[in-house]
Every structure is written in C-alpha cells, then in structure tokens.
Amino acid sequence: MESDRSGLKFYSIFEATSNYQDVQDPAVTVLLKLLDEDAHLALDIRLDLGRVHECAGRARRSFALMLAAQLSGPILWITPQYETQRPNPDGIQPFLDPARLLFATPQRPVDSLWCMEEALRSGVVPLVVADLNDYPALTPVRRLHLAAETGAKYSAKAPPLGVLLTPDKGGAAGVETRWLLQPDSTEEQPGWQLKRLKARRAPPRAWHIAQTPDYCFTAMT
C-alpha cells in the first residue's frame, strides 16, 4: 500500500459525493477551490489544455486529483492490470466524487499509452491520467499531443487534458510541462511541496500547497 501524509491511499474505489465545476478557460489551474479566486494567476500554476503533462513524486496521484477537481464529467484513470493498488475513495473524497473515476487496466505498458491516445482523440473525457512505471519515449508522447489536439475538435466543452504519472523525478520526453509533488505536511495541516521542473513557456519554480480543514487549497512561493 502506498500513501502520502495527505491521506491518499490506493485500493479499490467506491461511490461518494462531492461537487465540481465546469472549466471554460483555455488553461486549468492546479489548485482545487482556491481561497483567492485570482491567486493562481499571480502564482503562475497553470497547465494548458489540449496538451500532455507529466507529474512525478510520491504525491503525484494527488496532483492528478487536484486537476480532476477543476473539471466536470468522468475522468479516465489508466493503470496496468498487474498493478494491484487503486485509489482509495476515502483519500479521493476530499478532492472530488470518486464515482467520477473510470478505470482502464490494460495488460501491457504499451497498451496504456494506446488507451490514453484513443481517449484523448475522442474528446469524450476532460482528463485522461496514465499511471506509468516507466517513461514513454518522444514519439508516443508526440502522438498523445496530436490526439489531444484532435480531441479538442470533438469536445463539447474544454479541450482534453492528458497527465502522465511517472516514477522518481520524471523524465518523459516531449511533455508540455513536468511537475514534482511531494508530501510536506505538519501535524496540524496537510500539505505538499510542488515544483515545476520543466515548461515550454515558464521557468522552474516551487510552491508550498496547504490544505485547510474545509478542503480548500492555497499556495505560497
């Protein structure tokens, strides 16, 4: 069982309830339910939709859930069939309704990328998460970008967003941005250390993200 101090653990998923919001903006912020509506603009924590991004670190799955909470509709979560761990609904509940997650469990690692590509190309789901044990090469990542661009033509709302969850400090070639999220909690307050390691249009930067008792999130540089 894997966990971080934010309480996110991985098992099977069950139904719960929560609220989420539509996103009409061409980019989505990382943070869920910001205390200051304009804070993300000053903090510069943004991911372009219609592109594929990467997150590594022990809390990388929390990063994907923070993104999912910004979007409405079902979320496709792809994890290999041989991986026995799954997101636990109790850990998901502070972020979003666990019933929104749809799981795909392909047999081979290459099939995970194929599933992600097809889902992005369809434009049916706003977020596709691929939980990987290795780093995809440049050509498959380029195909994912093209698929997301195609999916934007079919999506009724915002362009689809792709997120690769990778081990260690990441290393997928050709991603739009690369992030690192590590647990950084105290006894009184759950939190994370977020780093932007790579981005096409932004410099590296770090933030501390804190979670309040009412499940709001704020960030400080």
- Element counts in the chain: helices (H) and strands (E): 5, 11
pTM: 0.80
Ordered domains of the chain (ranges, CATH): 27-220 (3.40.50.300)
pLDDT mean over 142-157: 90
Give the percent of the chain with pLDDT over 90: 43
pLDDT in tens, 44-84: 678 888 999 999 999 999 899 888 888 889 999 999 888 87
DSSP 57: S
Contact between residue 34 and residue 192 where contact means Cβ atoms under 8 Å apart: no
| CA distance linking residue 10 with residue 33, whole number of Å | 23
Report the relative pairing of strands 217-220 and 205-211 from DSSP bridges. antiparallel
